[in-house]
């Protein structure tokens, strides 16, 4: 008969996952099967998506920065055969960060195309309480996506188009090309040129790569299933918004302010135990470990 995991064990597993441990490493640390870790990952992700839908509404954001970060499932796109699953290959995670509270107001896992960009922008628009200044990178897919989601006069929208030099030398191929400048393009409304910026959302890309093992480059820790990839992203943003204090948000007398607190979504810092409490008391140990990530 399966032995149920107690709340402390669940919390320990989730803490390992959100701090960048892989499923296999978490399994070894917590002395449970990979089945158990994967089951907890997917079940908690469902609860975190519900939390996101319930709490992140009517957000008082003024300035929002959007970007997308690359990863892959199974193998890189160049190695995908024509008969493989549609989600094998490159996968992009869209993120929208409030420049003031650092809250991740919206995220989406999908392909880097106009259809997913529009879904992402429509979701973002539905969560905002008022008109915002929006900044994206120079990718053309955002032009129509923003128009369809916000309307021609519903947003102050600008693009930050970065310019890069020649590719690094072959022996330095893992280093990015040098950024030689950035062009600010005012697209809609009346965006303030001083706030046409994507620095905060690009910094979030680093946070994601440090906090989710499957986003780490040049390793074999990449996702093997799209469901688990999306689940990891859902838990990451619930933890980032509600549990993890942001260094830039320190206030007088309180050094532990989370993005959700700064945005007025909650009045306290959540713990991992609070996230785990969203689950029903039915989590059980798995059987034999499976080859899944």
Tell me, what's the pLDDT at 285?
Answer: 38
Stretch 126-147: mean pLDDT: 96
Contact 259, 99 (CB under 8 A): no
Decide: helix, strand or coil at residue 35.
helix
**Which stretches within 85-198 are classed as H helix?**
114-127, 141-150
User: What does the pLDDT average to over 106-123?
Assistant: 96
**Residue entry with tokens 């040129």:** 193
- Residue 163, pLDDT above cutoff 80: no
Q: What is the DSSP string of 186-233?
A: EEES---GGG---HHHHHHHHHHHHH-GGG-SSSS-SBS-HHHHHHHH
Task: Let me know: does 227 contact 238? Beta carbons within 8 Å.
Answer: no
In this prediction, residue 293 carries a pLDDT of 44
Query: Does residue 283 carry a pLDDT above 60?
Result: no
Quick: pLDDT tens for 42-85.
999 999 999 999 999 999 999 999 999 999 999 998 889 888 88
> Average of pLDDT values for 270-288?
72
Note the pTM of the prediction, 2 decimals.
0.89
Please name each of the domains of the chain with its CATH number. Answer: 7-276 (3.30.420)
Q: Is residue 114 predicted with pLDDT exceeding 90?
A: yes
Confidence check: pLDDT of 145 > 80: yes
């Amino acid at each position: 008969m399966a032995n149920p995991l107690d709340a402390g064990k669940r919390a320990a597993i989730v803490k390992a996952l959100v701090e960048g441990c892989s499923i296999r490493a978490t399994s070894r640390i917590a002395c449970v099967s990979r089945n158990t870790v994967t089951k907890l990952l997917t079940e908690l992700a469902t609860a975190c998506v519900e939390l996101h839908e319930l709490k992140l509404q009517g957000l008082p954001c003024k300035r929002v920065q959007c970007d997308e970060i690359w990863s892959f499932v199974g193998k890189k796109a160049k190695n995908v055969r024509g008969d493989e699953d549609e989600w094998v290959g490159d996968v992009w995670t869209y993120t929208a960060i409030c420049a003031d509270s650092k809250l991740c107001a919206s995220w989406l896992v999908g392909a880097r195309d106009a259809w997913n960009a529009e879904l992402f922008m429509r979701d973002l628009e539905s969560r905002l309480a008022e008109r915002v200044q929006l900044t994206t990178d120079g990718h053309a897919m955002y032009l129509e996506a923003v128009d369809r989601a916000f309307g021609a006069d519903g947003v102050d929208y600008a693009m930050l188009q970065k310019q890069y030099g020649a590719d690094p030398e072959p022996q330095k191929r893992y280093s990015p090309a040098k950024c030689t400048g950035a062009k600010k393009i005012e697209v809609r409304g009346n965006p303030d040129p001083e706030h046409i910026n994507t620095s905060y959302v690009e910094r979030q890309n680093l946070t994601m790569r440090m906090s989710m093992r499957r986003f780490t480059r040049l390793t074999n820790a990449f996702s093997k299933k799209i469901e688990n990839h999306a689940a990891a992203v859902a838990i990451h943003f619930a933890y980032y918004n509600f549990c993890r204090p942001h260094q830039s948000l320190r206030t007088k007398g309180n050094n532990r302010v989370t993005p959700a607190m700064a945005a007025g979504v909650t009045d306290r810092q959540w713990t991992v135990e609070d996230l785990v409490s969203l689950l029903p008391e039915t989590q059980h140990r798995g059987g034999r470990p499976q080859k899944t990530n």
